[in-house]
Amino acid sequence: MANRKTLSGGSAAFHGTRHAHARCVGRALGRAEELCRQRGARLTYMRRRVLELIWDSHKAVKAYDLLDRLSDSEKSVRPPTVYRALEFLMVHGLVHRVDSLNAFVGCSGSDEQHNAQFLICQECGEVSEMDGAMIGQAVARQAAEAGFNVRRQMVELHGECPGCAAK
Ligand SMILES: [Zn+2]
Ligand SMILES: [Zn+2]
Ligand SMILES: [Zn+2]
């Protein structure tokens, strides 16, 4: 086993509504700033704002909700502006697109390129990222055996988080 210093070590964590979420946001923004500094990329006002809004909760956020919320405070925000910011955040691995929901979540995983798996609670909508490198490799291997060239992996699991399952 490689010595991986990720937060989760491959297991996902659900937060529920009652936790110190400001800490999650602070960590995400700090990471974004650090990463952009390292890569010489600019975390512009709009990119940072979009990231903040996505991290408003652990639920996935749709682009038009972002647009709505940005437009309250800044009248002239147009869809391409939001999409460009999202594109930047995705390229730098700061957010992921959850395909089935057509929505975005903040990345809570490692800085390396990673194939995350997503646990999606159908009750409360919380999405948890599972950075299971072995799962990603197994899927890629099986696909390769079929002669399939994988460009992108998106593994989604739909069900109930611990909090909702206990209700
Ligand atoms: Zn949180
Ligand atoms: Zn991630
Ligand atoms: Zn739930």
For residue 11, is it within any domain?
A: no
Q: Where are the beta strands (DSSP E) in the chain?
A: 95-98, 103-106, 117-121, 127-130, 155-159
- Gap between the Cα atoms of 102 and 98, Å rounded: 6
User: Residue 166: what pLDDT?
Assistant: 92
* Alpha-carbon distance values, 34 to 104, 149, 159 (Å): 21, 33, 34
Instruction: Report how far ligand 2's centroid is from the alpha carbon of 75 (Å).
Output: 31
> Structure tokens of 77?
């925000």
- Provide the CATH number for the domain around residue 102: 1.10.10.10
User: Residue 8: what pLDDT?
Assistant: 39
> Which structural domain, as residue segments, surrounds residue 77?
21-165
User: Residue 133: what pLDDT?
Assistant: 83
Q: What residue has token string 């975005």?
A: 104
- Gap between the Cα atoms of 31 and 112, Å rounded: 13
Which numbered ligand comes closest to the C-alpha of 13? 1
Instruction: Report how far ligand 3's centroid is from the alpha carbon of 145 (Å).
Output: 36
For residue 16, is it within any domain?
A: no
Which numbered ligand comes closest to the C-alpha of 90? 2
User: Residue 73: what pLDDT?
Assistant: 59
Instruction: Report how far ligand 2's centroid is from the alpha carbon of 161 (Å).
Output: 19
Per-residue pLDDT of the chain (167 residues; tens, 9 = 90+): 344 444 434 466 898 878 899 999 999 999 999 999 999 999 999 999 999 999 999 999 999 999 999 987 557 789 999 999 999 999 999 999 999 999 999 998 776 777 889 999 999 999 999 878 889 899 999 999 999 998 888 899 999 999 999 98
For residue 2, is it within any domain?
A: no
User: Residue 122: what pLDDT?
Assistant: 96
3-class secondary-structure state, position 130: strand
For residue 1, is it within any domain?
A: no
First to last CA, the chain: 37
Burial of 102 (0-12, 13-18, 19+ CB in 10 A): exposed
For residue 59, is it within any domain?
A: yes
Q: How many CA atoms lie within 13 A of 144 on its CB side?
A: 6
Instruction: Report how far ligand 1's centroid is from the alpha carbon of 27 (Å).
Output: 10
Q: How many domains does the chain have?
A: 1
Q: What is the pTM of this model?
A: 0.86
